[in-house]
Structure formats: structure tokens, C-alpha cells
Amino acid sequence: MSRIGKKPVEVPSGVTATISGQKVEMKGPKGTLSFTATDDVTITLEGNEISVKPRGTSKRARQQWGMSRSMVANLVQGVTTGFKKELEINGVGYRAQMQGNVLKLSLGYSHEVNFEVPQGVTVTTPKQTEIIVEGTDPQLVGQVAANIREWRRPEPYKGKGIKYKDEYIFRKEGKKK
């Protein structure tokens, strides 16, 4: 039994959910999102709750059960509050700023890095050393944050680079004489 899959997903007021076959579509204040489940699960809407049930006892059906329920819960969160990743920049002279749809990063290279922000994601820089990535799709938000971080990953000796706000950098000691 999937502990996650057993729980129904609550649809809050202001959000409309429509289920047609295996496709779940959510409309809310932040936009519209949809998810198509596999044939291994059954998705039903009862009142203001969406429940996911497996169509058999096979291993694949049980795997898809919890995953499909999580995807539906992500749709609800995406159209109501959205998803957010916060990045920090550490290092002397390392900074970021937004210019239109382009994130300009100074990361110690001989040139400035221009990162084109994709559609469906908003990137803001409240300070020169902070980057906030927000959007409705958790996969896209996480991928954009990972792509920005990839330009200068934090190194273990001084901790310079771009890191997630809640990330812990394991620090190493420098070499001895």
C-alpha cells in the first residue's frame, strides 16, 4: 500500500479541476496546468477531492500510484501558490542582475554570462548576491535553478560559487606546510 497514494488531494476554492480519461487539468489564479497519467491508475474527482487508485496489484501499478498522486498535488500547488527556488552567490566580485528577460552573471570569468530565462519561469534578483526562480511547474523551476547553478558550482575550499539557499557546502581544509 502506498502511503502517499492513499491520501486524497484536496482541491481548494478558486481552483477548478477537470478529469477526462487519464488527463487531469487544473485552472487557478496562477494559470493552467495539466498531467496525463498512465493506464495503471484510476483518477476520480469526488466533491472537492481527487483520489488516485491503482488498477491492479502489479509492481508498475503500485509505482505509478504514489507518483500520480504527487503529480496531481503538484498541479494544485502550482496553480495556487507556485514553486520557488532561492540561490545565493558567494565570492568576491560575483554578482547577478536582471535586464529584461536576460540574467547577467559576473562569476569571475573573462566575460559576463548571459542566461536567457525560459517561458513560464520568472527570475528576480532582490540583491546582487541573491537569485529567486519562481514558476508554476516544479520540474521547470528546478531545472532553471540547476542550469544557473551549473555556471559556477560552489567549491569546497572557500565556498565560492552559486548555491541553493538551504544547501550545505562541506568545507575542506587547505593543504598544510
pLDDT in tens, 103-150: 999 999 999 999 999 998 999 999 999 999 999 999 999 999 999 999
> What mean pLDDT is predicted for residues 85-109?
93
Residue 14 sits at the vertex; the CA angle it makes with 8 and 15, to the nearest 5 degrees, is: 45
The b/e string for 16-49 (b: 16+ C-beta within 10 A; e otherwise) is ebeeeeeebbbebebeebeeebeebbebeeeeee
> Does 76 lie in the same domain as 93?
no
Q: Is pLDDT of 2 > 80?
A: no
Show which of 45, 80, 115 is a domain's final residue: 80
Confidence category of residue 1, pLDDT binned at 50, 70, 90: low
- Grid coordinates 532553471 are at which residue? 144
* Residue 45 structural domain: 3-80
Alpha carbons 46 and 42: distance in angstroms, whole number: 13
| Contact between residue 24 and residue 17 where contact means Cβ atoms under 8 Å apart | yes
**Domain containing residue 134: CATH number:** 3.90.930.12
- Helices 138-150 and 59-80, interaxial angle, to 10°? 80
Alpha-helical runs (H) found in 104-137: none
